[in-house]
C-alpha cells in the first residue's frame, strides 16, 4: 500500500513569493490534514478535511494561506505571499475516516521543507 | 488552552536498558492518547493508541500507560536498541474529533 505522497520535498523561495505544496493521501482515506512543524516542535494543525469539506481550519492564517481538496482526494496548500517566519516543514497526513480503522490514527507524508529567504 | 509537556528534550540510555518517556497534559481531558515516532527528515509514524478507559497497552517491546487522574502517560521501550533512537511524540486527542495536539517530543538516543 502506497503511503502519503508529498511534493516537492524541498522548496527555497524569496519572501513575498508564492509557494504551493501538493499532497496525495492514502487511497480510500477520507480525512486529510495539513500540519506545520517548526524545528524542535511537534506538528501543529493548520486544516483538516473530511472528503472535500474543510471542517477545522481555525488555525489556518487565512490572510496568506489557502488550501483546497477538490474531488476529496488530492490537496494543495498555498502561501501567498510567503514571509520569513513561514520557514518550516509542512506535513500532510491522512486517516481512514469511515473507510476503516480507528479514525484518528494518522498516517503522515515525508513533509515539504520550506525555506524563505 | 491545552498544554502538553514531554519530560525532557533529550534522553540518552545504554542499549538493553528500558527507556521511559513522560507526557503530561493540562487544561484537557482527552478520550485517548497516541504515541508517534519521528526520524530526521521524515513524518511521524504511529506506534500506539491508548484509550481513557485503558490503564496499559503493549506492543512488542513497547508499553504505554495512561493515568487520567494524574493527566499523564508513560511510554516504555524495553531492551532498547540503537535502532530505537528517534524523537517520540505524544498526542492526546478526542475532545475535538479528529484533532490531535502534539507535544514537542523527546529525542531518544540509545548508545551501544
User: For residue A113, what pLDDT is reported?
Assistant: 97
User: For residue A102, what pLDDT is reported?
Assistant: 59
Of B91, B94, B99, the CB nearest to A48: B99
**CATH code for the domain of A55:** 2.60.40.10
Q: What is the pLDDT of residues B43-95, one digit of tens each?
A: 999 999 999 899 899 999 999 999 999 999 999 999 999 999 999 999 988 76
As a whole-number percent, the residues of chain B with pLDDT over 70 amount to 94
B97 and A41: CB-CB below 8 Å?
no
| Chain B residues whose beta carbon lies within 8 Å of the beta carbon of residue A95 | 98
The three-state DSSP-derived secondary structure of A62-111 is: CCCEEEECHHHCCEEEEECCCCHHHCEEEEEEEECHHHCCCCCCCEECCC
Report the relative pairing of strands B106-111 and B10-14 from DSSP bridges. Answer: parallel
User: For residue B100, what pLDDT is reported?
Assistant: 80
Distance from CA of A65 to the nearest CA of B (A): 20
User: For residue A3, what pLDDT is reported?
Assistant: 94
User: Which residue of A25, A29, A106 to mutate against B (max B Cβ within 10 Å)?
Assistant: A106
pLDDT higher than 90, residue B104: yes
Per-domain boundaries in chain B = 3-111
Q: How many helices (H) and strands (E) does chain B have?
A: 0, 10
Distance from CA of A85 to the nearest CA of B (A): 19
Of B43, B103, B105, the CB nearest to A108: B43
Distance from CA of A37 to the nearest CA of B (A): 10
Cα-trace Rg, chain A = 14
Residue A109 burial (CB count, 10 A): 24
Full residue range of the structural domain in which residue A39 is found: 5-116
B47 touches chain A (CB under 8 A): no
A104 and B96: CB-CB below 8 Å?
no
Question: Which residues of chain A carry a pLDDT beneath 70?
Answer: 1, 98-103
Of A50, A104, A110, the CB nearest to B93: A104
Residue A9, burial from CB neighbour count under 10 angstroms (0-12, 13-18, 19+): exposed
Q: What is the pLDDT of residues B30-39, one digit of tens each?
A: 888 999 999 9
> Looking at the domain B3-111, which fold is it?
Immunoglobulin-like (2.60.40)
CA angle A40, A41, A45 (to 5 degrees): 150
CA gap A36, A94 in Å, rounded: 15
A104 and B94: CB-CB below 8 Å?
yes
Cβ proximity of B35 and B64 under 8 Å: yes
B99 touches chain A (CB under 8 A): yes
Of B45, B89, B100, the CB nearest to A104: B100
Amino acid at each position: 500500500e502506497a503511503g502519503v505522497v508529498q511534493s516537492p520535498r524541498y522548496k527555497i523561495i524569496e519572501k513575498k513569493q508564492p509557494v504551493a505544496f501538493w499532497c496525495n493521501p492514502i487511497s480510500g482515506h477520507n480525512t486529510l490534514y495539513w500540519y506545520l512543524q517548526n524545528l524542535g516542535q511537534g506538528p501543529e494543525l493548520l486544516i483538516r478535511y473530511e472528503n472535500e469539506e474543510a471542517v477545522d481550519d481555525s488555525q489556518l492564517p487565512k490572510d496568506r494561506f489557502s488550501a483546497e481538496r477538490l474531488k476529496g482526494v488530492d490537496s494543495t496548500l498555498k502561501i501567498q505571499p510567503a514571509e520569513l517566519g513561514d520557514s518550516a516543514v509542512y506535513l500532510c497526513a491522512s486517516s481512514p475516516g469511515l473507510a476503516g480503522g480507528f479514525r484518528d490514527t494518522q498516517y503522515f507524508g515525508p513533509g515539504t521543507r520550506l525555506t524563505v529567504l | 488552552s491545552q498544554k502538553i509537556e514531554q519530560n525532557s528534550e533529550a534522553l540518552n540510555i545504554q542499549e538493553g536498558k528500558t527507556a521511559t518517556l513522560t507526557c503530561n497534559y493540562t487544561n484537557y481531558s482527552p478520550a485517548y492518547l497516541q504515541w508517534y515516532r519521528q526520524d530526521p527528515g521524515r513524518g511521524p509514524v504511529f506506534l500506539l493508541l491508548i484509550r481513557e478507559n485503558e490503564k496499559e497497552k503493549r506492543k512488542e517491546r513497547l508499553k504505554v500507560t495512561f493515568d487520567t487522574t494524574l493527566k499523564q502517560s508513560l511510554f516504555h521501550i524495553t531492551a532498547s536498541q540503537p535502532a530505537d533512537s528517534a524523537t517520540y511524540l505524544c498526542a492526546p486527542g478526542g475532545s475535538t474529533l479528529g484533532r490531535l495536539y502534539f507535544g514537542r517530543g523527546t529525542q531518544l538516543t540509545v548508545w551501544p
